[in-house]
Amino acid sequence: MSSFNGIDDRYHGAVKSAPFIFLAGAIAAGLIGIAPRGLRGNETHGVTASPTPTLDRLAQPTLPAHPAQADLGGQVYWLHCQPCHGDEGQGLTDEWRAQYPPEDQNCWKSGCHSQRPYKNGFTLPATVPALIGPTALSRFDTAENLHGFIAARMPFQAPASLAREEYWQVTAYLIRAHGVKTGEQPLDDSSASQIRLRADPRAESDTVASWLWPAGALAAALLGLAILWLRRRTAS
């Protein structure tokens, strides 16, 4: 019926004749009556709605046409970090492990990543931390500090095994996930030390001091005016 409603809307201003409207309605009703069931606008019998695709959280992320350093870092993260640290950097939570096949969900079973691991296997820590979140990177002051740790210690089972540029890419990906701006230039040895991941406590102290004195002076001035006003009011 939607197609006929569209016709009626377009010609509503031009069609004034009641007989014509009646005739058009009769023709429309006749056409709907003879149309196959699957083509009737208001008929739903026998028609199965297409299900909404389920997001595959294990699938490789797609790259934009012109990927930035952080976009490439997302690919590195997916391949080397996501299995343990989660698709959203949440860490190895129960919810994240539930995305894996049932036989792979117990990461600490004997012969897997616990006692007597398989050949070339490794013992997984009891807790795998989050990498994205309000305090996930609080131990690192700058992008340089973060990169240095990742490049020396990760992946856990094969430290320092990635290419030099891959470590810069995944560092860029993580700090972008925390809303840290890196500018137009890619991260490297010269720029990473200038990019802070958390506020410098000394800078915060300077900031507090910069507004504390003026605020105190203003409060004192207002108090003095209030006292002067009260005295004048009492005297009068």
Domain ranges of the chain: 2-39, 69-194
Instruction: Give the predicted TM-score (pTM) of the model.
Output: 0.63
Better-scored residue on pLDDT, 172 or 211: 172
What is the Cα–Cα distance from 85 to 137, expressed in whole angstroms? 13
Over residues 142-157, the mean pLDDT reads 97
Give residue 115's pLDDT. Answer: 84
Give residue 221's pLDDT. Answer: 76
Rg (C-alpha) for the chain, rounded Å, is 33
Range name among 47-61, 127-141, 148-162 with the lowest pLDDT average: 47-61
- Going by pLDDT thresholds of 50, 70 and 90, the confidence category of residue 19 is very low
What is the Cα–Cα distance from 149 to 198, expressed in whole angstroms? 16
Give residue 232's pLDDT. Answer: 75
Tokens representing residue 81 in the block: 């970090």
Give residue 218's pLDDT. Answer: 76
**Burial category of 118 from C-beta neighbours within 10 Å (exposed 0-12, middle 13-18, buried 19 and up):** exposed
What is the Cα–Cα distance from 41 to 50, expressed in whole angstroms? 16
The residues, ordered by sequence, that sit 6+ positions from 208 with a Cβ below 8 Å of its Cβ are none
Q: Is 180 within 8 Å of 136 (Cβ atoms)?
A: no
Q: Which fold has domain 69-194?
A: Cytochrome Bc1 Complex; Chain D, domain 2 (1.10.760)
Over residues 172-179, the mean pLDDT reads 96
**pLDDT(14) > 80:** no
What is the Cα–Cα distance from 117 to 121, expressed in whole angstroms? 5
Packed helices 18-34 and 2-11: angle between N→C axes, nearest 10 degrees: 160
Over residues 51-79, the mean pLDDT reads 91
**pLDDT(198) > 80:** no
Strand, coil or helix: what is 196?
Answer: strand
Give residue 49's pLDDT. Answer: 55
Better-scored residue on pLDDT, 202 or 231: 231
Mean per-residue pLDDT over the chain, rounded? 77
Q: Is 114 within 8 Å of 123 (Cβ atoms)?
A: yes
